[in-house]
């Protein structure tokens, strides 16, 4: 489903991959849509197992934690030969117009990530690591949206470069105190 999408993955192919007898699918799931919701929940749990511990590690500075999340996800993407990407993002574009229950479940997953990143950005702001006039919540939304977009470009070009480009732009240009440093530099000169 990660590689071929929801409609590109037939129930028969799922049964074959899972090595379970034909006909047993509907004993477990009332519909393919319900199966899709379970797959979304599983993917969300998988990603939480990756980024949860990184974000919770208070011994590391907030921005370093955030950056490590995206670098770890970029590594995963590259290990899978840039073919899978994010199930939530993939289904968001494929299924939002076809199933309201899937759309709501996807929105919920994205919201959870945005909330987690917004909390870390608030910590960064309290530590004066990012400018005080940035809105942590809107910034977290932009991080999630732009990373999903980088995955999209990475999937279509089969390259991790849009993802490293994303990390460089956000952590080199936006989530920095660079502007402040420049001011100090100028004052000294």
Nearer to its own copies, 60 or 146 (CB): 146
Nearer to its own copies, 122 or 159 (CB): 159
- In terms of Cβ atoms closer than 10 Å to its own Cβ (0-12, 13-18, 19+), residue 2 is middle
Question: Cα(76)–Cα(100) distance, rounded to whole angstroms?
Answer: 29
Residues that bind its own copies (CB under 8 A): 3-8, 83-85, 89-90, 92-98, 103, 106-107, 110, 138-139, 141-142, 144-150, 152-153, 155-158, 162, 165-166, 168-169, 173-174, 178-179, 182-183, 185-187
Nearer to its own copies, 7 or 31 (CB): 7
The closest alpha carbon to 82, from 26, 162, 147, belongs to 162
Minimum distance of its own copies from residue 53's CB (angstroms): 25
The DSSP letter of residue 3 is T
Nearer to its own copies, 15 or 152 (CB): 152
Minimum distance of its own copies from residue 120's CB (angstroms): 18
Question: Cα(106)–Cα(148) distance, rounded to whole angstroms?
Answer: 13
Minimum distance of its own copies from residue 129's CB (angstroms): 16
Minimum distance of its own copies from residue 134's CB (angstroms): 8
Minimum distance of its own copies from residue 82's CB (angstroms): 9
Nearer to its own copies, 3 or 16 (CB): 3
> Residue-wise over 61-99: b if at least 16 C-beta within 10 A, else e?
ebbebbbebbeebbeebeeeebebbbbbbbbbebbeeeb
Helix (H) or strand (E) holding 55: helix 32-56
């Amino acid at each position: 489903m990660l590689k071929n999408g929801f409609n590109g993955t037939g129930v028969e192919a799922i049964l074959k991959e899972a090595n379970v007898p034909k006909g047993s699918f509907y004993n477990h799931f009332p519909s393919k849509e319900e199966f899709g919701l379970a797959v979304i929940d599983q993917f969300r749990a998988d990603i939480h197992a990756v980024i949860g511990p990184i974000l919770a590690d208070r011994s590391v500075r907030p921005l370093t934690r955030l950056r490590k999340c995206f670098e770890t996800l970029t590594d995963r993407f590259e290990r899978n030969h840039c073919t899978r990407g994010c199930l939530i993002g993939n289904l968001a574009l494929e299924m939002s117009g076809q199933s309201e229950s899937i759309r709501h479940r996807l929105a919920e997953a994205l919201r959870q990530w945005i909330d987690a990143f917004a909390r870390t950005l608030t910590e960064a702001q309290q530590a004066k690591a990012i400018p005080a006039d940035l809105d942590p919540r809107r910034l977290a939304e932009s991080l999630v949206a732009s990373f999903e977009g980088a995955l999209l470009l990475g999937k279509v070009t089969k390259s991790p470069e849009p993802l490293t480009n994303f990390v460089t732009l956000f952590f080199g240009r936006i989530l920095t105190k660079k502007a402040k440093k420049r001011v100090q530099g100028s004052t000294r000169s």
